[in-house]
A = this chain, B = another copy of it.
Amino acid sequence: MKEILREIGMIARALDSISNIEFKEYDLTRGQYLYLVRICERPGIIQEKVAELIKVDRTTAARSIKKLEMNGFIVKKEAEHNKKIKKLYPTEKGKKIFPFIKRENDHSNTVALAGLSEEEIENLFDLLKRVRGNLEKDWEFVKKGNKRSY
């Protein structure tokens, strides 16, 4: 059995660790960059959706987003015809640091993909998307309290 998922875990933790250290410079604490990026990319998104995109617990997302709001990076707005949801938007402050986050992520991408050809990168991306698609079903299934059988 090829330990593909182990490689992925190592890569993800290393990356996250690097990003968290680097973003302290912008007063973003651990994990916050993830949420801010998604909100900048899809203004008006609701927090439930953000959690789903990032694959993180709903309550974790709730608190991270609350903190982003308290620190002035984003705002929550009540929706027009729906009293339940709260749409999320970056503030000027949030919008301003977005490019720096992108820049850092791009740099990590570049470092990570050093020595891979265009074709290999294309290929890797395609394979990863398929893997992610396969897993997100199980993730949602297990998160809802269901039990996988194997």
A13 contacts the other chain (CB 8 A) = yes
A57: chain B residues at CB < 8 Å are 17
Is the Cβ of B135 less than 8 Å from the Cβ of A104?
no
Q: Mark A131-144, 1 if CB is under 8 A from B, else 0.
A: 11011101100110
Where chain A touches its partner, the secondary structure class is helix
A78 contacts the other chain (CB 8 A) = no
Q: Report the nearest B residue to A102, measured CB to CB.
A: B1
Q: Report the nearest B residue to A15, measured CB to CB.
A: B5
A99-130 interface (Cβ within 8 A of B): 103-109, 111-116, 120-125, 127-130
Q: How far is the CB of A51 from chain B (nearest CB, A)?
A: 10
A62 contacts the other chain (CB 8 A) = no
A148 contacts the other chain (CB 8 A) = yes
